Amino acid sequence: MGDILGYARVSTSDQDVAGQTMRLNQAAAIKVFTDVRSGRTMDRPGLDALLAYARKGDTLAVVRLDRLGRTLGELLATVAMLKDRGIAMLSLEEKIDTASAAGELVFHVFGAIAHFERRLIAERTKDGIAAARARGKHPGRRPLDADKIAAALKLVKAGLSPTAAAKQLGLGRSTVYREVSRAGIDRPPQAT
């Protein structure tokens, strides 16, 4: 029988992996690998180190499935890769252990339910937007005021910083910078 290797991930440096690490140690993890990375990126040095360390027969343990992947596709790909390497996956919160046939089935059922839920949300959103349009509403951002953009560009050409032009006209700073870039306006270097 192999070892249990823990994986803990938090999204920002404001968060702490201590709670996850404690639970993984209580679940008999001999070593816990950590990442402070958003779930949006698959660049996870801690997970890579765990996978390099793991041997056939080991179990990768997480507190919750969302620590391992954000999407059903990511989770299924990760579990398939682990299975190919002879490594099981254990999720403490969802009580899933892919070392058993029943645990693997439960994982796939959870995955299918999560996929179904995301599809329902997408359909409801689409229906809500269609209903709003039928009532004459236009969901989403309002179009930019062309006159304000033109005025901002004139101010920047006259030597005002994009930040100051944005503030003066009530526009977003990033909007003015984007439009200045699109217009190809050369700005003098900012004083430091």
* pLDDT digits 0-9 by tens, 19-72: 999 999 999 999 999 988 776 667 789 999 999 999 999 999 999 988 888 777
pTM of full prediction above 0.85? no
CB 7 within 8 A of CB 68: yes
Q: 36 or 73: whose pLDDT is higher?
A: 36
What residues are annotated to the active site?
A: 11
**Can you state the percent helix, strand and coil of the chain, rounding each to 5?**
50, 15, 35
Assess whether pLDDT exceeds 70 at residue 191. no
Each residue of 114-124: pLDDT tens digit?
Answer: 778 888 888 99
Q: How far is 31 from 75, CA to CA, in rounded Å?
A: 22
Q: How far is 153 from 176, CA to CA, in rounded Å?
A: 8
Q: How far is 97 from 6, CA to CA, in rounded Å?
A: 13
